[in-house]
A and B are shown apart, each in its own frame.
Chain A
Amino acid sequence: MTPGKADRQGSDLLQGTLDVLILRVIALGPIHGYAIARRLQQMSGDVLQVQQGSLYPALHRLEKRRWLRAEWGPSDTGRDARFYALTRLGRKQLEEQRASWARLSAAISGVLG
């Protein structure tokens, strides 16, 4: 797949971080966008400031890469929402990114002592 315009724009560290965080949240089970935003806020507290709006381009990008699959279903309030779930490809990605993050953070910790 050739990366689109938006793909290239955001391929920095932070973006990669956001992607892996989203994958991590979704790995817990099918979940809609608003709940993902909530969970991200809880998990990272005030350390990572995620503009909620930027969540959606990321979700659709991951869906387009076939890491996520999405479908409409009733939410807890009864209103229909779009639920995301990991695909097999997404799960593999999550494992890989987790491992590489662990390697990276171990290396950085090692340097910083």
Chain B
Amino acid sequence: MRLPSLRRFLTRRATRIQDELQFHRDRLIEDHVAAGLTRSEAERRAFLEFGGLPQIAEEVRDVRGRWLDDLAKDLRYACRTLRRNAGFTAVAVLLLALAIGANGAIFSLINAVMLRTLPVKEPRRLVQIARIVPDGGPVGVSTPLFEHLRGNLPSLSSLAVHWSTDLAVAIGGAEEFVTADLVTGGYHVTLGLEPVAGRLLTPADDDPASAMPAAVISERYWKRRFGRSPAALGSVVTIRDRGFTIVGVTPASFQSLRPGRVADITLPQVGLIDELVSEKTRRDPTTYWLSLIARLKPGATVQETDAEVQVLWRGFLQSVAAAAPENERAEILSARAGVLPAADGVNPLRYDHRRSLLILMGIVALVLLLAGVNLSGLLLARAAARQREVSIRLAIGAGRGRLIRQFLTESLLLAALGGALGLVVAWWFGTLLLTMVANGDAIELAVAPDGRVVAFTAAVSLVACLASGLAPALRAVRGHASPALKEVPAHGSRRLGQALVVSQLAISMMLTVGATLFLGTLVRLYAVDRGFDSDGLLIVDLQSSRRYGDQRSRAVKQALLDRLRAVPGIAAASATKVLPVSGSLWTKAIQVEGHASGSADAESAAFNVIGPGYFATLGTPLVAGREFEDRDHQQSPRVAIVNQTFARAFFGAGPALGRRITNAGVTYEIVGVVRDAKYRSLRDPVIKTLYVSWMQRQGDGPTDYAFLARPATRTPLRFAPIVERLVREVDPALQVRAAYSYATLVDRSLVTERLMATLGGAFGLLALIVAGLGVFGALAFQVSRRTNELGVRAALGATPGAMTWLVMRQVAGIVLPGIAIGTGGALLLTGLSRSILFDLTPTEPRVFLVAALVLATAAALAGWVPARRAGRVNPLMALRHE
């Protein structure tokens, strides 16, 4: 109900009783006048016969029940008082809206990332089977594992594997890149999806002999590409020279198995997958590259399936271990796998962001608590100001319950206003947060408030306002009527007010500590030694509609690099398979010649394939030997470069150059040692790393590499258009998928940390402002109350400085307990954030010191204004004040 109509509704009840009685009296008067009485005589007679309207109206209201009328009256009264105190209302509502909105926004993210289920039939029966890595999340299955499991799990009604990629497709000659899901035929059956047009994939689509395999498109792609035309069905899509017939459309509500991602087209893996994924990936039993989704039989449980999987998994591991070298067996056998509920699909977002979202929820809950305490303080101050009014009403017989209800009505109205505004804030803020989390990636999540978010927000605002309104309301109607009439604020309400300010400071302290921890983490991450110079580097990712043989691939790679280096203004260029700090880690089992075989772990190293001049381009200095050069090609002896940590681990102080390393039957000679550099992320410590040359590797196409270019001017993005043209010229099938600066990649790798620092900092700042306002309010009130005393002191010769100091001492009396309590609270809570901190412990004393100093400074600044005023009090002013 809109506000004006609500008001009309509430006022109508009251006035219509009046109307009815008014009608009666007027008719009575008219009839008397018609009978010949004078107007005044008629009115007198009517009053005698009918009685007084207000009395009758009251009687009628007694009969009707007062509850709604009282509520209407209270609401009107509350509206009036809130409007009269527009400043107070604005501050309270704004802070509430911010706090409620922040809670709503974080909750809507949690809702979208962790609570929402896939829009499919009985999502609770969906499970995911995957290898599980120690630090959380499921990884997937390998092709041999899938084949090992398939058909051997009686508790499942169906299962399928899923792999997603970007693909170049041609429809009627026009080529474009789309997001694609490559699946086995049981995929749609397992999900229990119904088509909006045509049919979906079935196990029959797995037939490798099919001349024209099927393709299913999403509703969104149907609309974008075909304008929802029924003619789309039967159209032929060409992918890598293969034709696929579009047979159906998936519903709009279903985006993909993976929340946040939208698949334009879903294809059977059979045949096509051989073109896109290397034989090695597909055949390796320990490359867990597929997502396995399955549907439980009715009545079956996750535990049942898990028990079945464990048996099969052990058998699988043993067969893998038996085929592996002796020293790798222990590691292989230690791997774990399991069955996980997948009602929300295969959801890496949940594992990536769960902890930070929960911490953020904690932070915004503290902000809400702060807003509540602040509101409590404001309401208390208003209750104190209305002490006389309340006393008078108590004295003339108003019930305490009735008065409390009136105070709470005011809180309720604030809750409604704050909650409604908060919902808007939540929506806006939720979208903003998602943009921050996605950070340029295409994450498509609906964070618009749904029923659950609205209910959550409403509940939060209601609880917050009633909780913060209750204490002041109780306080206001306590005590006897008569003493309060003397206009001396009750001692108790002052103590409560003080306690509220102390709690505001305590909460602010906790939020400031959090902000300091997260900001400190971010600063330290950016400052950490990367081992390379990412500033001013251009990264170019490629995509192609063609498949490359080794010969052609080498030629294209070489040509790309030659052309890049020839661009005027580009000082150096190279290429790499894994971009440092991009979050990827590639490890290999190795044997080092002359090194005693230790544990399996000691004989594995991070691995990367790079182009010539890679270290010069990246700015990582060589410690010994040389870089890869153009002379390291297919026919020359295999060479490798290692980093310092690698050399130290295997050769100690001895020379590394000339030593030999074997991986997968190929032996490399070390020709260079480079300085240590970060590999997977800025957070991870440097690991032993082995680099090999891209020209000495088989099976990689040019699109498997990221190309790097370092312009002399450090303005990488200026070169993006030139590179785009150049790539097309080298090979018309090639296309730049993305060109971005290395700084962007670094920023993207710190999404969570930046989110936490930004939000932590923003809420910390908000907390400081609120705490400052609280201190200011409390002190200003005290100074005005003590004006007499201060005047006497001044008369007795106290200097302004001494009187200012007197008040500032009170600031200390509020701030110190606040900081102490806040420190205690923070010590209890910061441990939860341990995993997202970097180079800082949750109890780092310097962090607490900084937070305490910041808070104390804010409080001192806020207290300084009233303290100065106290210093200027003179006896005359004090007398006038009286």
Contacts and interface: CB of A to CB of B under 8 A. Distances in A.
A16 to B, nearest CB: 16
Given A51-B51, A52-B50, A53-B56, A61 B23 contact: no
B149 interface: no
Nearest to B56: A53
Interface stretch (B58-66, B234-242, B411-419): B58-66
Interface string B35-64: 000000000000001111001100110111
Contact of A53 (B51, B64, B65): B51
B881 interface: no
Interface in B7-49: 16, 19-21, 23-24, 26-28, 49
A52 B62 contact: no
B24 A37 contact: yes
Contact of A56 (B16, B26, B49, B60): B60
Interface in A55-72: 56-57, 60-61, 64, 72
Interface in A33-66: 33-34, 37, 51-54, 56-57, 60-61, 64
B655 to A, nearest CB: 99
Contacts of B60: 56-57, 60
Contacts of A33: 20, 23-24
Contacts, number: 62
Nearest to B26: A79
A4 interface: yes
Given A32-B23, A52-B50, A53-B50, A4 B28 contact: no
A58 B49 CA distance: 17
B16 to A, nearest CB: 8
A82 interface: yes
Nearest to B55: A53
A25 interface: no
B59 A56 contact: yes
A82 B20 contact: yes
Given A52-B49, A64-B64, A34 B23 contact: yes
Interface in A1-40: 4-7, 32-34, 37
A5 B24 contact: no
Contacts of A37: 24
Contacts of A79: 23, 26
Contact of B62 (A5, A51, A75): A5
Nearest to A35: B27
A28 to B, nearest CB: 19
Contacts of B26: 79
Nearest to B53: A53
B63 A57 contact: yes
A7 B62 CA distance: 10
A54 B52 CA distance: 11
Contact of B59 (A6, A72, A81, A82): A6
A29 to B, nearest CB: 18
Interface residues of B, number: 21
A65 B65 CA distance: 12
B30 to A, nearest CB: 8
B65 A4 contact: yes
Contacts of B51: 51-53
A77 B30 CA distance: 11
A38 to B, nearest CB: 9
A54 B55 CA distance: 10
Contacts of A32: 23
Contacts of B52: 53
A33 B57 CA distance: 14
A60 B63 contact: yes
B24 A52 contact: yes
Contacts of A60: 60, 63-64
Interface in B523-551: none
A56 B20 contact: yes
Given A51-B51, A52-B50, A56-B56, A81 B62 contact: no
Contacts of B23: 32-34, 75, 79-82
Contacts of A6: 59, 62-63
Contacts of B24: 33-34, 37, 52, 56
B8 to A, nearest CB: 15
Nearest to A33: B24
Contacts of B55: 53
Nearest to A37: B24
Contacts of B16: 72, 82
A3 B59 CA distance: 15
Given A53-B55, A53-B56, A82-B20, A34 B28 contact: yes
Contacts of A72: 16
Q: Which of A6, A53, A60, A64 has the most B CB atoms < 10 Å from its CB?
A: A53
Contacts of A4: 62-63, 65
Interface string A79-100: 1111000000000000000000
A113 to B, nearest CB: 38
Contacts of A64: 63-65
A6 B61 CA distance: 10
A57 B20 contact: no
Interface string B88-115: 0000000000000000000000000000
A76 to B, nearest CB: 10
Given A32-B23, A34-B28, A52-B51, A57 B65 contact: no
Contacts of A34: 23-24, 27-28
A72 B50 CA distance: 21
24 contacts: A4-B63, A6-B59, A7-B63, A32-B23, A33-B20, A34-B23, A34-B27, A34-B28, A37-B24, A51-B49, A52-B28, A52-B51, A53-B51, A53-B55, A53-B56, A56-B21, A56-B24, A56-B59, A57-B62, A64-B64, A72-B16, A79-B23, A80-B19, A82-B20
Given A7-B63, A81-B23, 12 more contacts: A4-B65, A6-B63, A34-B24, A52-B49, A53-B50, A53-B51, A53-B52, A56-B20, A56-B60, A60-B60, A64-B65, A77-B27
